[in-house]
Amino acid sequence: MEAPAKGTVTPIASLFSEEEARKAASYVEEKIGAKRGEMNRLQQFVDENANLINLVAKLPDQLHHNVMVPFGKMAFFPGRLIHTNECLVLLGENYYSDRTSKQTIDILSRRDKTIQSQIRSLKAEIDDFQTEASFFTTTASEAAEGLVEIREEFEEEEEEEEDSSATLLQSGVKEPSGLPGGETAEDEVEDDEFARIMSRLNELEMQEEQEGEDGDGRGEKHDSPIESELDTVKGIRGETNKKQETTLSVPKNASIGESRYSEPRVRSKVIEVLPEKHPHEDQSRGGIDQQNAETWKDFQATSRAKAKTDVVASRKIEVQSPIQQPEPKFDANKAFTGSIVEHALNLETNLHGQKQSSVSQPSKPVSRFKAQRR
């Protein structure tokens, strides 16, 4: 059901090679290292400055201090530090000034402020680089895992359809191969049959819709002969064989209880895949093991509505659907060979279907269905 024309799938690896991303990441890491070194240096300045402030603050506490005066490289002489409140401060650029201890502390604290602001800006830079580096590394790992980028045009007409397929696609992306699919051949066959049934049902509904629109009050031929409908199906299949675009089929026969669609309708296209493989098989019998949740719900609604007359058919299907397979959309073969039937549903039905298709577990359709039926 996923028409390839609708979206593009690009492996991330083809956009950014893993190696390149790693290189970029390591380059940025290097830069971060350099900045870190710079920051450590500044931090050291800050510490030294704090120590100096402490010292200068203590100096004027006493009139003189007894100290060891360095004399040359090796020798120390005992000495005495006087004028404890006088400092000769280097302002920078070889300018010095005589200052009191208090004034010196002011100068030093001003210096501390400038260094702190430098550290702050450096930190911001490092943060920037780190986000960059993490981006590169994630890109690299994504490329290595073979993640794919899926782009799809948004089409309002098929909004709901897109929604459901989008949810399904996301689950598909998690596969390491990044490509949807992976159904077994057995599943495929079953899917085919199911899809045929479903497409026929949808077709019937579409016919109802059609006739409802025409305001045509044709009879209540709910259980019209299977053969005639099969013909229609075949005809559609012939038309749309090998095509991928949506085909609107407008069959004339088999109106089914259009009277029940009296409430306002919301039109939504549901595209069903009609596989080529067993065109002549009787569709109401045998081997319907898989089901598309969405259409199944549609069918349910339909069958509920026409429960009086159509009980037999719906019960058949109920019995024959032990496994639910909500992802027939990913069968590439079908997407190519199937014909597509479009139909309109009433709003309630559709919401049901939508919900079911995105939420439903693939394993227990029958119980679900039965619960609904009761």
Q: How far is the CB of 146 from other proteins (least distance, A)?
A: 34
Q: How far is the CB of 96 from other proteins (least distance, A)?
A: 4
Told to check if 99 binds other proteins by CB under 8 A, we report: yes
Burial class (CB in 10 A: 0-12, 13-18, 19+), 332: middle
**Alpha-carbon distance 292 to 358, whole Å?**
11
Burial class (CB in 10 A: 0-12, 13-18, 19+), 280: exposed
- Ramachandran sector of residue 19 (left: φ over 0; alpha: ψ -120 to 50; beta: rest): alpha
Q: How far is the CB of 203 from other proteins (least distance, A)?
A: 60
Told to check if 109 binds other proteins by CB under 8 A, we report: no
Q: Residue 102's closest CA among 86, 80, 82, 81?
A: 86
Q: Are 147 and 12 in contact (CB under 8 A)?
A: yes
Q: Are 287 and 190 in contact (CB under 8 A)?
A: yes
Q: How far is the CB of 51 from other proteins (least distance, A)?
A: 20
Nearer to other proteins, 76 or 96 (CB): 96
Residues in the chain, overall count: 374
Told to check if 41 binds other proteins by CB under 8 A, we report: no
Q: How far is the CB of 48 from other proteins (least distance, A)?
A: 16
Told to check if 110 binds other proteins by CB under 8 A, we report: yes
* Tokens, residue 366: 């029958």
Told to check if 98 binds other proteins by CB under 8 A, we report: yes
Nearer to other proteins, 110 or 174 (CB): 110
* Tokens, residue 183: 């159904």
Rounded to 5 degrees, what angle do the CA atoms 305, 306, 307 make?
95
Told to check if 113 binds other proteins by CB under 8 A, we report: no
- Say how many residues touch other proteins, by CB under 8 A: 15
Nearer to other proteins, 94 or 184 (CB): 94
**Alpha-carbon distance 84 to 65, whole Å?**
8
Out of 3, 9, 57, 107, the only residue in the binding site for other proteins (CB under 8 A) is 107
Told to check if 8 binds other proteins by CB under 8 A, we report: no
Q: Are 299 and 317 in contact (CB under 8 A)?
A: yes
Out of 62, 97, 177, 241, the only residue in the binding site for other proteins (CB under 8 A) is 97
Q: Which helix (H) or strand (E) holds 88?
A: strand 86-92
Nearer to other proteins, 98 or 239 (CB): 98
Q: For residues 57-96, which are near other proteins according to CB under 8 A?
A: 88, 91-96
CA dist 39 to 46, 110, 130, 223, Å? 10, 19, 15, 83
* Three-state secondary-structure class, residue 171: helix
Nearer to other proteins, 82 or 91 (CB): 91
Kindly indicate which of the ranges 7-15, 97-105, 291-299, 342-350 contains the residues binding other proteins, using the contact rule CB under 8 A: 97-105
Q: For residues 236-275, which are near other proteins according to CB under 8 A?
A: none
Can you give the binding site for other proteins, defined by CB under 8 A? 88, 91-99, 106-107, 110-111, 114
